[in-house]
């Protein structure tokens, strides 16, 4: 997807972005901070800083955080929260000198980029200790139920497509699938678990993602069509529950040594 379209979508979603995302728990932010300190990180460039949902809490935990983002709308929200080290720019051409930060950090960004490997290489240029991503690695049991079980996301998409609505191919897998592909294709030097929890929740819980129109592609779905699809799937799922591992990890990719 072209960067211009991605930026326009984030501009559009920026006023409701925070209200449609689960905040990171303080304990998770503490674990992220402890891991970064263990890597001797002080100065962070958050690439795709968005509304500062993560930059703010990391600054409050003593890190020097600069944010870069392509979307003016998202940066405006971050500025409203009092963040001031913010720059408009592209993840593929960061407007900073080599090694200017300890690390360049990606939180919920790698899966929205067309070429995450190129962005990681660019991040390793400005991060003396490389690039770090908060990712959802493989789990013994995923939030998405196994094949054969009712899958809320797939059921909604199926109904929308049956109504002739164009749903992009990447909508089915969600962010974890893209992150896992990246971890396999470009294995990080380190992967540290910062959160693990066994969750049992009603399957219909995942429908809230659609109701809140939390994904950018849902912006293009007529609200009535979405409401119809969600109501039908809600009725189909009833009170069934699903048990899964929720895992979050920090992956660190190192700068390639010169000459290699």
Binding residues for ligand SAM, per CB under 6 A? 3, 6-7, 10, 48-50, 53-54, 69-71, 74, 90-91, 107-109, 112-113
Least Cα distance to 254 among 1, 24, 72, 39 occurs for 39
Residue nearest to ligand SAM as judged by C-beta position: 50
Q: Which is nearer to ligand SAM, 92 or 234 (CB)?
A: 92
Q: Which is nearer to ligand SAM, 41 or 229 (CB)?
A: 41
Smallest gap from Cβ 258 to ligand SAM, in A, equals: 26
Q: Which is nearer to ligand SAM, 10 or 210 (CB)?
A: 10
Smallest gap from Cβ 114 to ligand SAM, in A, equals: 8
Smallest gap from Cβ 69 to ligand SAM, in A, equals: 5
Measured CA to CA, the distance from residue 62 to residue 81 in angstroms comes to 17
Phi, psi of 20 (to 5 degrees): -105, 5
Smallest gap from Cβ 15 to ligand SAM, in A, equals: 13
Smallest gap from Cβ 186 to ligand SAM, in A, equals: 17
Smallest gap from Cβ 77 to ligand SAM, in A, equals: 9
Q: Which is nearer to ligand SAM, 74 or 237 (CB)?
A: 74
Phi, psi of 240 (to 5 degrees): -60, 140
Q: Which is nearer to ligand SAM, 67 or 130 (CB)?
A: 67
Q: Which is nearer to ligand SAM, 168 or 222 (CB)?
A: 168
DSSP character string of 78-135 = HHHTT---EEE-BTTB-SS-TT-BSEEEEES-GGG-S-HHHHHHHHHHHBTT-EEEEE
Q: Which is nearer to ligand SAM, 88 or 228 (CB)?
A: 88
What tokens does 138 get? 């493989």
Find the DSSP H helices in 163-237.
174-185, 208-211, 223-237
Is the Cα torsion angle 41, 45, 49, 51 positive or negative in sign?
A: positive
Asked whether 192 and 35 are in contact (CB, 8 A), the reply is: yes
240 Cβ neighbours under 8 A, 6+ residues apart: 150, 202, 203
Asked whether 123 and 94 are in contact (CB, 8 A), the reply is: yes
Smallest gap from Cβ 48 to ligand SAM, in A, equals: 3
């Amino acid at each position: 997807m072209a960067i211009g379209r991605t930026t326009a979508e984030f501009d559009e979603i920026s006023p409701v972005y925070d209200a449609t995302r689960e905040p990171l728990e303080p304990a998770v932010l503490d674990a992220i901070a402890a891991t970064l300190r263990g890597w001797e990180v002080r100065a962070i460039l958050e690439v795709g800083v968005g509304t500062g949902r993560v930059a703010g809490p990391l600054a409050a935990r003593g890190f020097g955080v600069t944010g870069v983002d392509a979307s003016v709308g998202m940066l405006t929200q971050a500025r409203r929260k009092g963040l001031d080290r913010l720059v408009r720019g592209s993840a593929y051409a960061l407007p900073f000198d080599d090694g200017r930060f300890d690390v360049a950090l990606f939180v919920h960004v790698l899966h929205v980029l067309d070429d995450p490997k190129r962005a990681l290489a660019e991040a390793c240029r400005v991060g003396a200790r490389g690039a770090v991503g908060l990712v959802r690695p493989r789990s013994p049991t995923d939030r998405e139920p196994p094949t054969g079980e009712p899958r809320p996301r797939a059921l909604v998409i199926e109904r929308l497509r049956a109504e002739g609505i164009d749903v992009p191919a990447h909508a089915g897998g969600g962010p974890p699938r893209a992150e896992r592909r990246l971890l396999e294709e470009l294995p990080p030097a380190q992967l540290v678990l910062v959160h693990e929890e066994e969750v049992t929740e009603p399957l219909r819980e995942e429908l809230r993602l659609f109701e809140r129109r939390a994904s950018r592609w849902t912006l293009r779905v007529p609200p009535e069509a979405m409401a119809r699809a969600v109501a039908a799937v809600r009725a189909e799922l009833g009170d069934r529950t699903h048990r899964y591992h929720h895992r979050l990890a920090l992956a660190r990719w190192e700068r390639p040594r010169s000459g290699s």
